[in-house]
């Protein structure tokens, strides 16, 4: 993840099995620079002029699409898409190495369920080494936004499928 608004901010305290959801919750208090756009998909936020004025729209370029399993950048994008758009813990976990210490699908789903439906996200992924990436996720909720950074490592299966091996929270 959004993982990932798990964006794919969410977020992430590795270990203890609750990292995915904890990352989103722990990032809520952080402030972040303003981003360029948010298209609200929730009727309540659309009707609430204060909430709409508080957040600017997220441009389409900000949310990079569905991703794929062909590259590190692609699988990270797919993870955040599964977290924020599909809202599926199972889909997120399926993008991860099976025997990794990352959380199970139920724990990931609990983190997803803590994020309001309609939350938008921006994802910036940068290669920082072989199979190692820096991910910056800006999560835009109807009334607030937060930003978090992760270091994500990937693994390429013998068939060429790329999966997420680890996700670590990176401090400022």
**pLDDT tens column, 25-48:** 333 333 333 333 332 232 333 333
User: What's the CA gap between 56 and 94, in Å, rounded?
Assistant: 33
124 in Cβ contact with 19 (< 8 Å): no
Arithmetic mean of pLDDT, 96-103: 95
* Location of structure tokens 């989103």: 24
Confidence of residue 120 (pLDDT cuts 50, 70, 90): very high
Q: Give CA–CA dist 17/81, Å, rounded.
A: 21
Q: Three-class SS of residue 102? A: coil
The domains of the chain, with CATH numbers, are 19-170 (3.10.450.50)
Stretch (H or E) spanning 171: none
DSSP 162: E
Q: Are 88 and 94 in contact (CB under 8 A)?
A: no
The pLDDT value recorded for residue 50 is 31
More confidently predicted of 55 and 104:
104
Query: What's the whole-model pTM score?
Result: 0.68
Binned at pLDDT 50, 70 and 90, residue 64 comes out as confident
Looking at residue 42, its pLDDT comes to 29
Mean pLDDT in residue range 90-117: 96
Q: How confident is the model at residue 87 (pLDDT cuts 50, 70, 90)?
A: very high
Interatomic CA distance for residues 32 and 123, integer angstroms: 14
Identify the pLDDT of residue 107. 98
Tokens 């920082």, located at residue: 128
Q: Residue with structure tokens 């990270």?
A: 76
Q: Which pLDDT tens digit goes with each residue over 127-171? A: 999 999 999 999 999 889 999 999 999 999 999 999 999 999 998
Q: Do residues 162 and 155 make contact, with C-beta atoms less than 8 angstroms apart? A: yes
Calculate the alpha carbon distances from 47 to 14, 43, 51, 53, 83 in Å: 38, 6, 9, 11, 26
Distance CA 25, CA 10 (A): 7
| Mean pLDDT value across the chain | 73
pLDDT at 63: 65
């Amino acid at each position: 993840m959004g993982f990932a608004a798990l964006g794919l901010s969410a977020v992430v305290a590795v270990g203890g099995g609750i990292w995915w959801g904890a990352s989103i919750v722990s990032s809520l208090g952080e402030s972040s620079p303003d981003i360029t756009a948010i298209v609200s998909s929730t009727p309540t936020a659309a009707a609430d002029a204060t909430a709409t004025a508080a957040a600017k729209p997220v441009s389409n370029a900000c949310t990079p699409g569905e991703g794929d399993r062909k590259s590190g950048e692609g699988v990270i994008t797919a993870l955040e898409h599964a977290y924020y758009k599909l809202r599926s813990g199972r889909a997120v976990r399926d993008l991860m190495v099976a025997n990794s210490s990352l959380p199970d699908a139920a724990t990931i789903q609990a983190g997803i369920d803590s994020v309001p439906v309609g939350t938008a996200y921006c994802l910036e992924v940068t290669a920082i080494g072989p199979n190692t990436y820096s991910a910056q996720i800006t999560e835009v909720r109807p009334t607030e936004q937060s930003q978090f950074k992760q270091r994500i490592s990937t693994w390429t299966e013998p068939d060429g499928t790329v999966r997420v091996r680890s996700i670590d929270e990176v401090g400022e």
